[in-house]
Structure 1
């Protein structure tokens, strides 16, 4: 078989049988992490347009060669540099949870931590297993993620602490970045208003605005779903997860890095 550049080679060297659910969720999380990276690194502006596809499954333990494809173009995505950057980024976060400093000052998002936790689940459960994720091609053989079962368990323990510490119980936070997903077009009510603060949770959370002025600041924007809002927020949690964001003040408006041109985020429509 002829090796080709620009693909992602994933190898799970297992000693014990792998539960199908764990393997499926591991690959799903890897694909989602790649989609997020492509957008955050500026290689693609439309979330979910470029995805990983299975090019080949090989004999051995579990060996998969994955390639990226662009939905809109229905073609191979020329991405050896993107794949290499993704592997480097994933390894940086892995090493962060093993106690090494990140190359950037920005900590990983909760979403990425959850994805990494799921990616390494199969190797964490198998005491003799090893997981290798690398760029396929001679030039980038140094771009790889390698983790054994002992380190995978250590990483999962650190991720657990990281996630439990990232959402304070019923706390008031300053300077959080809010993305809107749904919002009513009036200041009198909050019915249906929902948004995401990625640092706390990747999920949509209901919003309540503490004042007409705070909501009016959002409604005054010509394209509120193409913007991000820096807010002071009162976070209410249930079982350690955000259940309500009470917006106390909107202090700044910045462009959304994942939205370009006339494209609006999915679900981003005002409610009547």
Structure 2
């Protein structure tokens, strides 16, 4: 396949490794560069291609090109913009000031991208870009310590981005371990059928909470409630019970 290109910016990736790199780790790293470039550029036409691989640890020169299209001027600096994105992402994930937002896809790509560096205590990833005039635009590096911090923080953020899974339970028994007699949040309860641990409780409507708690003429902690609930879980653990229907209460001593 012939790739039509003109003079263009280049992304230089230099992995200075102390130990041999597993082929799978290297290929996944290169693939993750390409995947993150596509994700960041939001272009289906232009992709990263390896222009040259040099000796001296691993030095790869990448360019953006389109197999079927003539290069467009607006893509001339896309690899420079991409390198800036990577620098900002690395800064964020190593605790440095950065306002770059990272979604699940970027966090996954970046975790795999630095894998060869994270596995080798003496390794360093050096990245720099060269513009169409031959001048260096970006130049930064990632050490082994940086790579491990990037992966750990990326995985932590990925856990936080996981969407809760919802399921409905009908006519289950709930009792409150904590409740507020006003309109504010802070209610907690236990549904032993689901979990022995207390979980945050919300109500489908304020009228429902008023009927169950605010206007109750009894001690709510002495009673259990038969309810329909929407159960939201993260990592198979319940994090929120939303009461959607209330049928009756029963004294716990009965």
- In structure 2, the CA distance between the partners of 1:53 and 1:155, relative to structure 1 (3 Å rule), is same
TM-score after normalising by structure 1: 0.55
The structure with the largest alpha-carbon Rg is 2
Alignment RMSD = 2.6
Contact 1:31 1:51 in 2 (8 A): yes
**What do the CA deviations read for 1:191-237 (whole angstroms, capped 9, x no partner)?**
xxxxxxxxxxxxxxxxxxxxxxxxxxxxxxxxxxxxxxxxxxx9977
Q: How many aligned positions are there?
A: 166
Aligned to 1:68: 64
Match of 1:32 among 15, 19, 35: 35
* 1:119 aligned onto 2:97: no
Structure 1 position 139, deviation (Å): 6.3
Aligned to 1:15: 18
* 1:94 aligned onto 2:94: no
- In structure 2, the CA distance between the partners of 1:235 and 1:140, relative to structure 1 (3 Å rule), is farther
* 1:143 aligned onto 2:143: no
**What do the CA deviations read for 1:166-207 (whole angstroms, capped 9, x no partner)?**
1144369xxxxxxxxxxxxxxxxxxxxxxxxxxxxxxxxxxx
**What do the CA deviations read for 1:99-149 (whole angstroms, capped 9, x no partner)?**
123235xx2111001101111000000000000122124765241341010
Distance, in Å, in 2 between the alignment partners of 1:115 and 1:24 is 13
**What do the CA deviations read for 1:10-34 (whole angstroms, capped 9, x no partner)?**
1100000000000000000100111
Contact 1:8 1:136 in 2 (8 A): yes
Dislocated runs of 4+, deviation >6 Å:
234-238
Aligned to 1:250: none
- In structure 2, the CA distance between the partners of 1:8 and 1:77, relative to structure 1 (3 Å rule), is farther
